Chain A
Amino acid sequence: MKRILIVEDNELNRDMLTRRLVRKDYSVASVDDGQKALDYLEQEIPDIILMDMDLPVLNGWQTCQAVRKNQKTRDIPIIALTAHAMSDDKQKAIEAGCNDYATKPIDFPKLIEQIESLT
């Protein structure tokens, strides 16, 4: 079973994504800020990270960079969950080391495709 870490501060969004992914037979863990994500990664190495970019404490870009800098975690694929279809968030996410991005509102079947192609 593939393990996914969701980093997302919006509770409903986190819950919704978790539920949907669990029903697709993924094992899902979730945290609500960037620092907690780094703490989690100290203990566990998931197969992929879904990361909201608009996070409190440590934002998505900073978190991404930290994940990439760490020898232990730098190969974990990251999909950025970005907010604006029109903004340069995507570009920034890729520059910060994300492998792919999904624009909110999430197109779920496409997200599954993305997860599968990266894991």
Chain B
Amino acid sequence: MRELARLQSLQVKTGQLLTKSRLDEILRSDIEKLYNALEQNVNKFEQLHQDGESLETLDDPARRHDIRNAIGIARGYAELIKETETLPTATLSNLLDKIILWTNKSLNILERSAKPRFDPNKFSVTSSDNEDFEGNILILDDQPANRDILGRHIRNLGLNTFACANATEAFSVLENNDIDLILLDLVMPEMSGHEVLARLKTSELWRAVPVIVISGLGEQAEVIKCIEAGAEDYLQKPFNSVLLKARLRAGLNRKRWVDKERHLSNELEKSHRFIKNTFGRYLSTEIVNNLLEKPHGLDMGGSLQTVTILMADIRSFTTISEKLSPQNVVLLLNNYLGIMAEVIMEHSGIVDEFIGDAILALFGAPVANPNDTDNAIRCAIAMQHKMEEVNHLNREQGLPEIQIGIGLNTGEVVAGNIGSSKRSKYGVVGHTVNLTSRVEDQTEKGEILATQATLEQSNLTLSLGRTLELKPKGVSEVVRVSAVNEITSAIDKKQKSKQNTG
């Protein structure tokens, strides 16, 4: 126990002063008291030592109180002598400093160990411990005495205070500090509390800062006016510190929630912006909104999903493009891809990729929807219809007319963010994708070919054209595909069968 050894040596030195020095009566008596106080400390520390305790480990509140009191008394005497002696000897002054240092150190150790140990049950946002009672309080009062008393009360609660004598000062403090609550005096010469309040509440920046009005007796009418004007609460002079504390706490809590709400809404805004930037370019509004509602839809580590894939390309594009200048090729592609992308989005698909003149669109990823396959089929038909518009635009711009073929296939793919951490892109891979490409290869101008898998998944009643049996490279089984001409009935198969049975 280092504190004890140090203490004993200090006590001995104090005793020596008494025997060696010639002292005046008052000083002798003070030093005797100091010696007694140190002795009391020695006894208490020895007792502590015997009990196997130390300042750090002492838990019993009564004993902590006792020892704190004893240390405080020793410090009190040392400070007293320091204050009284205008010309102390070097030895005395030195000794007193050492004693005060020792008391402060010991008290620090005691206070540090007094910090409540972490108790998860007590740990909550609404905890009423002084620990989390913090904030910057602005006091606006023209009376120096009021500012002083209020300031002291509030600082005792562990809060920071900014005392202002007039409105000008207060607004300058508000501009330069993050103020959590304002205590506002009503009657002030320059600008009344009521006027200050009105200005605060019309300010975008300060509107959310709670205001507690301080009133004297008989200012009831004014208080009511202030509360109507947006003051949170009021306090009557002379202050009752319990009420003051309770109202400060309520006001600060309110401010904290407002801040938290603001922070959360900023965060939300940020993440919405991120999702919109990332997906907005190739996702329909509906899907972006869907993602925003179900953010876990974004946890795309790569998952197995059933999707309908639509692939489209311009038939004989190579031949067409050879006859055009590069600028016109780009113009042609932009006319075509721009309009098609819109059609795909309208049908809740996402454009996963433009590869030259080819489009790869997905229905059912990243967010699955029961109508994915139907949407894909409707989309393919709409795309073919839209080609009239594309060609109209082309003719106007002196560009050749084009025709597209569309392949549709449904099956499982691995969907997710594919790539490295530096560059990754949402996409799909798998056999289903490759097969779609093979199907699309077989289309003629203006044709839609859908695999059996897609047709089986669909609830639409379709008029089908030719049927082909494909044996694509690398695929063992025969793949049946049919040309989709149009949707013959808007009522889907399920509903139809219901009507038939009913």
Report A-chain residues with C-beta under 8 Å of the C-beta of B68.
83, 104-105
Report A-chain residues with C-beta under 8 Å of the C-beta of B245.
91
Using CB atoms, name the residue of chain A closest to B130. Answer: A86
Counting residue pairs across A and B whose Cβ atoms lie within 8 Å, the total is 73
Partner of A84, one of B65, B71, B75, B77: B65
- Given A10-B73, A13-B73, A106-B76, the answer on whether A20 and B240 have CB atoms closer than 8 Å is no
B127 to chain A, nearest CB (A): 14
- Given A114-B152, A117-B149, A117-B152, the answer on whether A105 and B71 have CB atoms closer than 8 Å is yes
Residues 64-84 of B at the A interface (beta carbon under 8 Å)? 64-65, 68-69, 71-73, 75-77, 79-80, 83-84
Stretch at the interface among B30-38, B219-227, B289-297, B488-496: B30-38
- Given A83-B68, A106-B76, A108-B76, the answer on whether A12 and B36 have CB atoms closer than 8 Å is yes
A24 to chain B, nearest CB (A): 8
Q: How far is the CA of A85 from the CA of B107 in the complex (A)?
A: 12
Contact residues on B (Cβ < 8 Å of other chain), bracket: 35 or more
B265 interfacial contact with A, CB 8 Å: no
Using CB atoms, name the residue of chain B closest to A89. Answer: B65
Report B-chain residues with C-beta under 8 Å of the C-beta of A10.
69, 73
B435 to chain A, nearest CB (A): 72
- Given A13-B73, A104-B72, A117-B152, the answer on whether A23 and B65 have CB atoms closer than 8 Å is no
Q: How far is the CA of A13 from the CA of B75 in the complex (A)?
A: 11
Secondary structure at chain B's binding surface: helix, strand, loop or mixed?
Answer: helix
Most interface-central of A12, A20, A95, A104 (chain B CB within 10 A): A12
Query: Do the beta carbons of A105 and B72 come within 8 Å of each other?
Result: yes
Q: How far is the CA of A106 from the CA of B71 in the complex (A)?
A: 11
Report B-chain residues with C-beta under 8 Å of the C-beta of A69.
none
Using CB atoms, name the residue of chain A closest to B149. Answer: A117
Using CB atoms, name the residue of chain B closest to A114. Answer: B152
A118 to chain B, nearest CB (A): 9
- Given A23-B83, A84-B61, A117-B148, the answer on whether A16 and B241 have CB atoms closer than 8 Å is no
Using CB atoms, name the residue of chain A closest to B77. Answer: A16
Partner of B242, one of A54, A95, A108: A95
B40 interfacial contact with A, CB 8 Å: yes
Query: Do the beta carbons of A86 and B116 come within 8 Å of each other?
Result: yes
A72 interfacial contact with B, CB 8 Å: no
B111 interfacial contact with A, CB 8 Å: yes
Q: How far is the CA of A92 from the CA of B92 in the complex (A)?
A: 41
Report A-chain residues with C-beta under 8 Å of the C-beta of B240.
94
Q: How far is the CA of A114 from the CA of B145 in the complex (A)?
A: 12
Residues 22-76 of A at the B interface (beta carbon under 8 Å)? 23, 54
A91 to chain B, nearest CB (A): 6
A40 to chain B, nearest CB (A): 23
A2 interfacial contact with B, CB 8 Å: no
Q: How far is the CA of A19 from the CA of B75 in the complex (A)?
A: 13
Query: Do the beta carbons of B61 and A19 come within 8 Å of each other?
Result: no
A87 to chain B, nearest CB (A): 8
Query: Do the beta carbons of A16 and B73 come within 8 Å of each other?
Result: yes
Using CB atoms, name the residue of chain B closest to A108. Answer: B79
B453 interfacial contact with A, CB 8 Å: no
B106 to chain A, nearest CB (A): 10
Query: Do the beta carbons of B69 and A19 come within 8 Å of each other?
Result: no
Q: How far is the CA of A96 from the CA of B478 in the complex (A)?
A: 93
Contact flags B150-171 to A (C-beta < 8 A → 1, else 0) = 0011000000000000000000
B464 interfacial contact with A, CB 8 Å: no
Q: How far is the CA of A104 from the CA of B66 in the complex (A)?
A: 10
Residues 219-251 of B at the A interface (beta carbon under 8 Å)? 240-242, 245
Query: Do the beta carbons of A105 and B242 come within 8 Å of each other?
Result: no
Contact flags B30-71 to A (C-beta < 8 A → 1, else 0) = 100100110010000000000000000000010011001101
Query: Do the beta carbons of B33 and A16 come within 8 Å of each other?
Result: yes
B399 interfacial contact with A, CB 8 Å: no
Query: Do the beta carbons of B69 and A105 come within 8 Å of each other?
Result: yes
- Given A94-B241, A106-B72, the answer on whether A12 and B33 have CB atoms closer than 8 Å is yes
Most interface-central of B40, B116, B242, B245 (chain A CB within 10 A): B242
Report A-chain residues with C-beta under 8 Å of the C-beta of B72.
13, 104-106
Residues 77-119 of A at the B interface (beta carbon under 8 Å)? 83-87, 91, 94-95, 100, 104-106, 108, 113-114, 117
Report A-chain residues with C-beta under 8 Å of the C-beta of B69.
10, 13, 83, 104-105
A93 to chain B, nearest CB (A): 10
Q: How far is the CA of A91 from the CA of B156 in the complex (A)?
A: 12
- Given A13-B69, A84-B65, the answer on whether A117 and B145 have CB atoms closer than 8 Å is yes
B114 interfacial contact with A, CB 8 Å: yes
Q: How far is the CA of A85 from the CA of B65 in the complex (A)?
A: 10
Residues 106-155 of B at the A interface (beta carbon under 8 Å)? 107, 111, 114, 116, 130, 145, 148-149, 152-153
Closest 5 CB pairs of A and B: A105-B72, A16-B76, A83-B65, A20-B80, A12-B73
